[in-house]
Structure 1
């Protein structure tokens, strides 16, 4: 029996790893679906007669109901983790039963907006992106009263709550909260310690210039310096990592959220984009990077075919198992020593339906996600817990990822993935990076194309 349970867990973990490996693609797909359906349902925008009878926000109360309550939860990420969270929550609140409904992510993306707009909508639903579009329909509740009543600012990282607040044209004040994070994600650079040592690399780089020197040393040693799965999300992760360190976080976040006047065409982002193109010209990526998926570049890395790899924390468990002590991790370094720690990331997050009859019970479940019990479960399933101090730092590469995440959290340096900017932003981002790698577009023209998409989304 124990063997079968372990097998099921490994299979679920592989599904989760695959899901996050293509994270930007799925994020953009969800945004696209949401935007399309919102535009088709103008009569249901906030304040219209169609939804004026439903609540817009949760009650300002932390009192958990005494009666028996059943909450329905729909989700598409980490089924093993969700099951464990539900069991632990039920032990704390025996009168509240959470019934999970897991859907493959592709099907989830296609159906979630219609699901949340129906009279049979679940009480709780997972959302990773598109909070503003969904809230514009009035299908989810503003959680700001719970944020204050439960003290969520002290339980969850500020950057991750900010990612789940209303912004842009759809929530003028930006004070509305539409989700609560459970497991957190973050991208960075993995490295093979044995191959690095053979190339004369003895420690993680402290600056971007030092990292460039290490890439050159790896190439001189006859090994592919940096594994990049640019066919899907690897190249995009690399570009974003460079931009994160060359563009002030506030300016970047304003651009992602659609703040009037924001632009990606800055001196810093041009330098970051030129840097990526320069690394390609110098042969720091494999010649087949544009035809390599991120999961394949990760496999190549575990086999010793590159010294470094761009990927996210969701790959740490796989790398730890395959490489043991040989695997290491660091954040993309800044242009100067001891620079602010920044990285792309998001979270597996949950929202409350505006059609629920049990908002207080649902609120108790969301609050549980910030508990120490939940943190242990999240960490055991390969994610980064919001309450980092609730679990000991793991050993090996998992510990290096955890310590890096603590740095980023302390510096309020978690940034949205760039494709969160607009429903149709992913293709220009991804194909543009591929063209940069192939030398078929100039850095300036690439940024122009991104800003054009941004203007189409955020300019009246």
Structure 2
């Protein structure tokens, strides 16, 4: 996404970038032409050649997780050596297009929608459909995770076309809750409907508690707004808008009602005081310190919550309008694409396939992510167990929605500042949605 790290990071950033860099393309590359672009071969092999290969790995976050994934992969493929290289996130986003179109393009790079959609259109990313079929990736990765990484040849419309990357660790946002404070206020958790959750916020307020903590200084406010969209806007309508389908809109009645509810909750004092001056890290600290009944955040906060609150914390998805509404939540993945210029497509594809293994699932889980292979997720108790259960529900319902800033590269800044304006009562919901729609439409008209 345009700013995947910005919208999913807090403490532990929910983005790990991998770049496996090779030498200048040679005769056994994946068919690169003089522009560096290439078509995916019709037939591919899942056999990694016996000759020794050295691949460079550059990444932005999670060094311990990356080191462990590398070690586990190298143990399975001793002929492949991976040399990790750290890159700051802002430097990566600014430089990845240049790197991927250079004579020394990386073999594998974290897929970033805003930075890399142009690389799809220019042919610098390998079409992964043949490898997906050869490795049976639809059976190993959650379909919704692969759908998020499928795009047409323009690189602007998602959910259709060819597979461009595979997930390496999933994320999910939702509501953490303090069991002790909820019991003191007489709140039953988890709620079965959105109305029940709204009543819980009101009950907490009447009990003199802060109902819910959000970190709107960065992206916590946007997570709260997106959660309301998930609860109140049909999945197909949301995906048509965010995925770039012709006619997709965020200005309809359902999105407006969700945005009006977000504004009403701010007006009624359900959010933490000074939410606009609080980031996700601080909002999580407030929650674990017992200063709010609920917290809107993502899986990257779960380890801190579990460590500091133990069995006194839980997690649930913001519920839908009806008790039997399908499970829907916002999330994306650390994901990896292969350069069209790679000299070692078999080794690169083997690394991507390894990310769905049980070994990788254990490492990904310890790194703070939800393993894309749900069946391989290690058993967990407490809030971490709740998180795994809710993620499995979302996968089962095909209900994982990408974050709103997937709609266009310029959406994130407008969305973040607009959410703050909504909280402060300085803009109207309809005006906020019209601005986001305009940015999205302008992007697709280019």
User: What TM-score do the two structures reach when normalised by structure 1?
Assistant: 0.87
Alpha-carbon distance between aligned partners in 1 of 2:153 and 2:421, rounded to the nearest angstrom: 30
Q: Aligned ranges for residues 30-429 of structure 1 at < 5 Å?
A: 51=35, 54-58=37-41, 59-130=43-114, 131-167=116-152, 169-170=154-155, 174-429=160-415
CA distance in 1, matches of 2:388, 2:251: 33
Structure 2 CA distance, aligned partners of 1:312 and 1:195? 20
Indicate the SS of the match to 1:376. Answer: helix
User: How far 1:16 moved relative to its partner?
Assistant: 7.0
The 8 Å contact of residues 120 and 154 in structure 2, kept in 1 or not, is answered as: no
Across the aligned residues of Structure 1 and Structure 2, the Cα RMSD in angstroms comes to: 2.1
Quick one: distance in 1 between partners of 2:33 and 2:363? 43
Gaps of 5+ in 1: 1-14, 28-47
Structure 1 contact 169–258 (Cα < 8 Å) conserved: no
Post-superposition offset of 1:71: 1.9
- What CA distance in whole angstroms lies between the structure 1 residues aligned with 2:222 and 2:46? 41
Deviations 1:359-381 (A, max 9, x none): 01111111111111111111122
- In 2: Cα distance, 1:142 partner to 1:359 partner: 11
**Deviation of 1:109 (Å):** 1.7
Superposed displacement of residue 60, structure 1? 2.3
Q: 3-state DSSP class of the match of 2:293? A: strand
- The verdict on how the C-alpha distance between 1:154 and 1:407 changes in structure 2, with shifts beyond 3 A counting, is same
- Separation (CA, whole Å) in 2 of partners of 1:459 and 1:247: 25
Please tell me whether the aligned partners of residues 180 and 351 of structure 1 are also in contact (alpha carbons under 8 angstroms): yes
Mean CA deviation greater in 167-176 or 108-117 = 167-176
Taking the aligned partners of 2:236 and 2:153, their CA distance within structure 1 comes to 14
Question: How far apart are the structure 2 equivalents of 1:336 and 1:391?
Answer: 29
Q: How far apart are the structure 2 equivalents of 1:215 and 1:316?
A: 21
Q: Distance in 1 between matches of 2:99 and 2:378?
A: 39
Shift of 1:292: 1.1
Aligned length: 422
Give the superposition deviation at 1:393: 2.5
1:437 positional shift: 1.1
Higher-helix-fraction structure: 1
Query: Retained in 1: the 8 A contact 2:327–2:394?
Result: yes
Question: Aligned partners of 2:87, 2:348: CA distance in 1, in Å?
Answer: 20
TM superposition shift of 1:104? 1.8
Residue segments in structure 2 that go unaligned for 5+ positions in a row: 1-7, 18-31
Range 324-333 or range 169-178, more displaced: 169-178
Asked whether the equivalents of residues 168 and 174 of structure 1 are also in contact (C-alpha less than 8 Å), the reply is no
